[in-house]
Chain A
Amino acid sequence: MVNVKDKIASLDGVKIAETFEYVCSNPAQERIKKAVKEQGLNRVVVASCSPRMHLETFRQAVKSAGMNPYFLEMANIREQCSWVHDDKSKATNKAIALVRAAVRRAQYLEPLTPSKLKVTESVLVIGGGIAGINSALELADKGYQVYLVERNPSIGGHMSQLSKTFPTFDCSACILTPRMVTVAQHPSIKILTNAEPIAVKGSAGNYEVDVKIKPRYVDTAKCIACGECTQKCPVKKPSSFEENLVEEKAIYRPFKQAIPNASVIDKDYCLHFTKGVCGICQKFCKSEAINFNQEEEIMELKVGAIIVSTGYTLMDPHLIGQYSFGFHPDIITNLQFERLMLQGLHKPSNGEVPKKVAFILCVGSRAAIAEGVGYCCKIGCMTAIKQALLLGKSVPDAEPWIFYTDVRAHGKGYEEFYTKAREHLTTFIRGRAAEVIPNGSHLIVKAEDTLLGKQIEEPFDMVVLSPALIPNKGTKELAYMLGIDLGPDDFFLEAHHKLRGVETKREGMYVAGASQGPKDVRETTMESMAAASKVATFLGKGEISVSPEVAYLVPDRCDLCGICIDKCPTKAIGRGKKEVILDTVSCIGCGLCVPICPKEALDLKNTTDKQLVAQIKGIVEGDEATPKIIAFVEKMTAYGSADLGGQSRRSYSPEIRIVRIPSIGRLGIKHVLHAFAAGADGVVFVEGDDGLLKEDKLREHVIQFKKDLGKFRIQSLRLQSTTTTLPQYEKILALFDDFVERIRKLGPITQEKREEVKKFLEGEKNGP
C-alpha cells in the first residue's frame, strides 16, 4: 500500500515529512519546534485532526519557534478521512490529496499579525427610557463617560407614564424617578434631550456620532421650573405625555418629575413661531431663561460603543376598524387608561366614574393581516389584569371584563397575579371581541364566549384596547444609519436568539429593551444591564484585538464602481476619493465582496485567490479517485457539521474532498472553473445555516454559477448546494453520497472541455 509520508516527502518544496502518534502532544510539538529551528523551515503543515480542534495549538507551537503563526497549515485527515471511510486504499489516496493541497496552499501563505487598536472609553446610549437609564447608570458607575441621547424633551420613556407595575403594584414613578435623578446628577453621564443621532462614522471601539440637538427655546441652566410661563401662555395643545387626554400649554414641562426639569416650547403651536406675535412667556420669566433665537446644534461625539434602546410605540388602534376607536371618547388604549388612573379615574366623555369596563386584548397582535402584526405583544394580558384589579380597588362594585384570546402569564409571579384577578371577580371571556358599537353613553361589545359557544352582547361604560407594540418611529432609519439588522418584525435583530441576545452583528453595537422586541419592565431592565456588561467587556481592556483575516485592496485596480459597498454586510467598505476604503475593524472576513469585484481589486487575507486555486489544484491534480469531487464548506457551522459526522463515525463516499472557506460567498465562478479545469468532476457547496448567505441568496448565487457553467457545456447537475445546521450532519453526508452517485452516472468531463475552460482561465489572467 502507498505510504502517505513517502508520497508527501517527494512533493516539491517539502523538506521533511514525519509521522507521530499524537501530534498535539507536548513531545510532538517540541519535535515540530526543533525541526523549524534546525532545518530553517518557513512553512509547516500538520495533517491530523480538524483545525477546529487544534489550529490554535499548532499556531502557538510554531510561533514559539519564531515563525509567524499564519505560516501553519492543517489538513484534516481524521474527522474527514480516517474516521469516515472503510476502504483503506481510497482513504489513503484521499489523505494524500488533502495533505498535498495543504502543502500547495502553504507555499502561498503570507505572514499576518493581529493588530491592536486603542478604544475610546465612552459610550453612547440612544433612548432615555428605563433601558437607557439603567445602561447609562451601570456604565457610568463602572467609570465610563456616557452620553444619553433622548428624542423627547425629558428622559423617562413609557415607564414614566405608567401608574403601577405588575405583578407587585409598585408605583411606577416612585421606582423610576429616583433613578432619573441619579442619572441627572451623575458626573459621568451627559444627558442630551430633544436630540437624535444623525450620522455614524468609524468602527468598533472608535465611533464618531453626530447628534442633532433641536432647540428647546428655554435655557435649562437658567430655568427654575416655576411654571410662571405656562400659566401665562395663551395657546393650548394636546399633551403627548397624557396621551392626548388633556391639554397643556405651548410652553410646558413634560411632566412634574421631568429631567431636565425645565420648560420647553412647542414650535408648532407657539404664537411667536406660528404668527410672529406674543412672547408673553419671555416677559414674565424672572430668570430670563427663554430664548427664541436658540438654534439647532450638531454635537460630535466620540464613543467606543453604542447601546440602542429606542423602545416601542403603540400601534394605531384606528387600523382595526371594528373597535370603533376614535368614534367615542370612552374607547381608549391601555396607556390612556394608565393616565386616567393617575388623573383620577373618569370617563373622558362626561367625567363620570366608569363601573363596567371591557378590556379587549390582542388588538392588532397575533395577526396575519396587513393592518396587524404577527407577534404577541407580551404585556397586554398582564396589563389588563393589573388594570382590572386597580379598577376594583378604586371603584366600589366595579365590573371589569377581560376579553382574551389566550392569557399568557409567563413571568415570575404572573400566574399568581392572574389567579388574584379571578378571585377578585374579574370576568374573563375567552374570545376576541368582534366589535364595539357606540350607543349613546354606552358602548356595546359583541363577542363569542368560545368556551360556552355562545354569543355575548354587553353594554359597558368604557372600553380599553390593548394595541400591538410596534418599533418606535424612526427605527428603520436608525438601523440603516448604524448598519445593524432589523428582524422580520421590524424590531432590531440580536446577533443570536439564544446566546447573544443583546449583541448585534456589528461589533461595538448593542441593543436592549423593547426596541429588540416587546417586553415588560423587568425584562427590559435585565437586558439593559446585560448590554452594559457587554460594553464593559468590550471596552474594558482599553484596546481590542483585530483579526488579520480581512479583505484588502489590491492597489490601483479599484475604479470606484461601488458594487462592494452595498454588498458588505457590516458596512466595512466606504467610498474614498480614488478607491474604496476598507475598515479592517468592522470587516468580519466573510469575503462576500471579493468575487463580485469586476476589477479583481479585492482579496481576502489567508484565503487569497492564489491560496485557494493552489489548494484546489493540489487536491485534484494527480489524484487517482474517480469521480473527483470537491466540497467547499463554510468554516464554522457547516465544517463543524462535517466534523461531527466524523466523530459519529458516519461513513460516506471517500471521493469527497473538503475545502474549508469562510463563506460560500467568498467563491466566484473562477474557482469552480479552476476545479473543473484541474480535473474535478463535481463541486458541492455547503453553507452554514447561520452563515452570511441565507438559503435564497445561496440559491441565487448557485443559479448564476450554473448558467455560467452552461457556457462551457458543463452540466449544471455537476454543481450542488445546500445549507446545514451543526447537528444536521446526516443531511450533508447523505447528500455527499447521492452526489457521488450522480456524478458517477454522468461520467467524467471530457478532456476537451477541460482544455476549453483552461484556455478561458488563462485568457482571463492575461486580460484586464
Chain B
Amino acid sequence: MVHEKTEHDEEVKTVQQVVNSESGKDFLREVMKMPGGEKILGCIQCGTCAGGCPTRFAMDYSPMQIIKMINLGMKRDVLSSSTIWVCSACYTCATRCPRNVSFTTLMMSLKNRAILENMVENSVDSNFHKYFFEVVNKYGRIHEPELLVKLMDKTDLRSLQHNANLGLRLLKKGKLRMRAPKTEQNKWVNNMLEKTSEKVSQ
C-alpha cells in the first residue's frame, strides 16, 4: 500500500500552526472519542510509558511523544508514525501509567484510523496487521504459512529464501501446518470482524 496524496498533504506543517488550527483541535477531539483516547488530556508527560516500553528502540516517536502530538493536533505525523505499528500490545505502559491512559487500546484505535485515512506506509509492521486479519477472516483462525508468504511477497521476497531452512525445521517438528485449518465457527469470526470494522469506520 503506497501512501497516496490526500487532502492532509495540504495541512499546515509547523507545530505552531497546527496547535491553533481548527483541524488540529478536531483531531484531538476525534482521538478523545476513540477507545483508549478518553483520558489523554490527563497525561502529565512523565515518561513512565516510554521508559518501560520494550519496543521503544524501534519507534520513531515514544508513546509519550505520540500523546503530546495528538494534543497538538499533529494528525499526519501521528498516523504515519512507526510507533503505532511497532507497539507489541504488551500493556506495560497502560498498566503503569499513573494517569490511567489506556495507551495500548489507543494504539489499536490509531492503527485502524491510519488504515481508514490511507496513511499507512508500506512497512512490514503495517502489512503484518493487514494480512493477519485477512487470513483470520478467511479461515476463522491463523494459518502461518499463508501469512508468511503473503507478508514476504509484499515486502521482501528474498527473505523467503533465507528462512527456508527454518521453515523446514518447523515443519518437521509439526509447528507449521501446510494444510489450511478448518473451523466450524468461521462465520462467527467473520461476523465479529465485520461488526468491529463497521464500528471503527463509524
Question: CA separation between A450 and B44, bound complex, in Å?
Answer: 12
Q: Is B50 an interface residue (CB 8 A)?
A: yes
Question: CA separation between A369 and B96, bound complex, in Å?
Answer: 9
Task: Return A317 CB to nearest CB of chain B, in Å.
Answer: 14
Instruction: List the A side residues contacting B65 at CB < 8 Å.
Output: 453
Task: Check A432–B47 contact: CB distance below 8 A.
Answer: yes
Task: Check A368–B45 contact: CB distance below 8 A.
Answer: no
Task: Return B30 CB to nearest CB of chain A, in Å.
Answer: 22
Question: CA separation between A406 and B45, bound complex, in Å?
Answer: 9
- Interface mask (A294-317 → B, CB under 8 Å = 1, otherwise 0): 000000000000000000000000
Question: CA separation between A625 and B61, bound complex, in Å?
Answer: 68
Q: Is B39 an interface residue (CB 8 A)?
A: yes
Task: Return B140 CB to nearest CB of chain A, in Å.
Answer: 38
In the complex, which residue of chain A has the Cβ closest to the Cβ of B45?
A450
Question: CA separation between A367 and B50, bound complex, in Å?
Answer: 17
Task: Check A446–B51 contact: CB distance below 8 A.
Answer: yes
If A431-B50, A453-B62, A455-B51 touch, whether A448 touches B100 (CB-CB below 8 Å) is no
Q: Is B56 an interface residue (CB 8 A)?
A: yes
Instruction: List the B side residues contacting A716 at CB < 8 Å.
Output: none
Task: Check A367–B56 contact: CB distance below 8 A.
Answer: no
Q: Interface size bucket, B side?
A: 20 to 34
Contact of A366 among B57, B62, B98 (CB under 8 A): B98
A262-314 interface (Cβ within 8 A of B): none
Task: Check B62–A448 contact: CB distance below 8 A.
Answer: yes
Task: Check B44–A405 contact: CB distance below 8 A.
Answer: yes
Task: Check B98–A448 contact: CB distance below 8 A.
Answer: no
Q: Is A191 an interface residue (CB 8 A)?
A: no
Task: Return A385 CB to nearest CB of chain B, in Å.
Answer: 18
Instruction: List the B side residues contacting A406 at CB < 8 Å.
Output: 44
Q: Is B52 an interface residue (CB 8 A)?
A: yes
Task: Check A368–B39 contact: CB distance below 8 A.
Answer: yes
B78-95 interface (Cβ within 8 A of A): none
Question: CA separation between A447 and B42, bound complex, in Å?
Answer: 20
Q: Is B142 an interface residue (CB 8 A)?
A: no
Q: Is B3 an interface residue (CB 8 A)?
A: no
Instruction: List the A side residues contacting B56 at CB < 8 Å.
Output: 448, 455
Task: Check B47–A322 contact: CB distance below 8 A.
Answer: no
Question: CA separation between A599 and B187, bound complex, in Å?
Answer: 67
Instruction: List the B side residues contacting A434 at CB < 8 Å.
Output: 47-53, 96
Question: CA separation between A368 and B96, bound complex, in Å?
Answer: 11
Instruction: List the A side residues contacting B47 at CB < 8 Å.
Output: 405, 430-432, 434, 447-450
If A448-B64, A450-B45 touch, whether A369 touches B50 (CB-CB below 8 Å) is no
If A322-B52, A433-B51, A453-B62 touch, whether A368 touches B98 (CB-CB below 8 Å) is yes
In the complex, which residue of chain A has the Cβ closest to the Cβ of B42?
A368
Instruction: List the B side residues contacting A450 at CB < 8 Å.
Output: 45-47, 50, 62, 64
Instruction: List the B side residues contacting A366 at CB < 8 Å.
Output: 44, 46, 98
Interface size on A, residues (CB 8 A): 24
Instruction: List the B side residues contacting A362 at CB < 8 Å.
Output: 46, 98
Q: Is A517 an interface residue (CB 8 A)?
A: no
Question: CA separation between A320 and B48, bound complex, in Å?
Answer: 12
- Interface mask (A412-447 → B, CB under 8 Å = 1, otherwise 0): 000000000000000000111111000000000011
Task: Check B99–A368 contact: CB distance below 8 A.
Answer: yes
If A448-B56, A455-B51 touch, whether A432 touches B99 (CB-CB below 8 Å) is no
Centre residue among A362, A405, A434, A453 by max chain B CB count within 10 A: A434
In the complex, which residue of chain B has the Cβ closest to the Cβ of A322?
B96
In the complex, which residue of chain A has the Cβ closest to the Cβ of B92?
A434
Instruction: List the B side residues contacting A368 at CB < 8 Å.
Output: 39, 42, 98-100
Instruction: List the B side residues contacting A364 at CB < 8 Å.
Output: 98
Task: Return B82 CB to nearest CB of chain A, in Å.
Answer: 14
Question: CA separation between A712 and B51, bound complex, in Å?
Answer: 64
Q: Is A372 an interface residue (CB 8 A)?
A: yes
Task: Check A369–B100 contact: CB distance below 8 A.
Answer: yes
Task: Return B16 CB to nearest CB of chain A, in Å.
Answer: 20
In the complex, which residue of chain B has the Cβ closest to the Cβ of A361?
B46
If A450-B50, A455-B50 touch, whether A369 touches B64 (CB-CB below 8 Å) is no
Task: Check B48–A432 contact: CB distance below 8 A.
Answer: yes
A interface residues with partner B (beta carbon < 8 Å)? 322, 362, 364, 366-369, 372, 405-406, 430-435, 446-450, 453, 455-456
A-B contact pairs, 27 of them (CB 8 A): A366-B98, A367-B99, A368-B39, A368-B42, A368-B100, A369-B98, A405-B44, A405-B46, A406-B44, A430-B47, A431-B48, A431-B50, A431-B51, A432-B48, A433-B48, A433-B51, A434-B96, A446-B51, A447-B47, A448-B47, A448-B56, A448-B62, A450-B47, A450-B62, A455-B51, A455-B53, A455-B57
Query: Given known contacts A431-B50, A433-B51, A446-B52, what 14 new A-B pairs fall within 8 Å (CB)?
Result: A362-B46, A368-B42, A431-B47, A431-B48, A432-B47, A433-B48, A434-B52, A434-B96, A448-B47, A448-B50, A448-B53, A449-B47, A455-B56, A456-B51
